Amino acid sequence: MVNGMFEDLSRAWGWIALRGFVSVAFGIAALAWPGLTLAVLVLVWGAYAFADGIVALIAGLKFKMGGKPMWPLVLLGLVGIVAGVITFLRPGVAEIALLAFVATWAILIGLLQIFGAIALRKVITNEWWMALSGLLSVVFGVIVLMRPQAGALAIVVIIAWYAIVYGVVLLMLGFRLKSLTARIPRPA
C-alpha cells in the first residue's frame, strides 16, 4: 500500500509542484497588494456566508423535527444570508466584524493557554512556552481590537508568508518526488 501511494505521489510530482508555485505566487501577490488581498478575502467570505446561509435555510425548511422546520437551522441560514448581503453592500463593516471575531478568538485562546500553562506547571517542564504562546495570542488580539487596520494588514501578511512557506515546501516535495521517479519500475 505504501509503495502504491509513493508511486502515485511520484507520478503526480508536477501537480504538487504546481500547487506550490500557485501558493508562492499568491503569497507574493498578497504581500505586494495587501489592501486588495484583504478586500478579496472579505468578499470571498461574504460569498461563503451567503451560499452557506442558503444551504442551511433550505436544509432547515426541508428537514423536519416533529413535523416542523428545524428553526435553529432556518435562523442560521437567514443570518448567513444577511451576513453575505451586508458583506457585499458594506464590505468595510464586514471587515471590521471579521477582525473583531479573529481578535476575540485570539484573546480567548490565549487566556485559555495561559490558564492551561498555570494548571500544568507541576506536570510538565517548560510550561512557560505554552504561557508565552498564550500571551502572544492575547497581545495580537488586543492590537487587532485597538488598531483594526493594522490588524487586518497583519493578518494578510501572515497569510501571505504562510502561503509562501507552504508553497516552497510543496515545490521542494514535488521536485524531490520527481527525482525519485527513477525508482518506480516501468510497466512491461
Instruction: Kindly report, residue by residue over 48-58, the tens digit of the pLDDT.
Output: 989 999 999 99
Cell (9 digits) for 31? 504581500
Beta strands 68-69 and 64-65, pairing class: antiparallel
pTM of the model as a whole: 0.61
* Residue pair 182/38 in contact by the 8 Å Cβ criterion: no
Task: Give the helix ranges, DSSP H, for 63-127.
Answer: 71-89, 91-120
- Which of these, 97, 99, 107, 103, lies nearest to 138 by C-alpha position? 107
pLDDT in tens, 29-76: 999 999 898 888 889 888 998 999 999 999 889 887 778 888 888 898
C-alpha grid cell, residue 49: 456566508
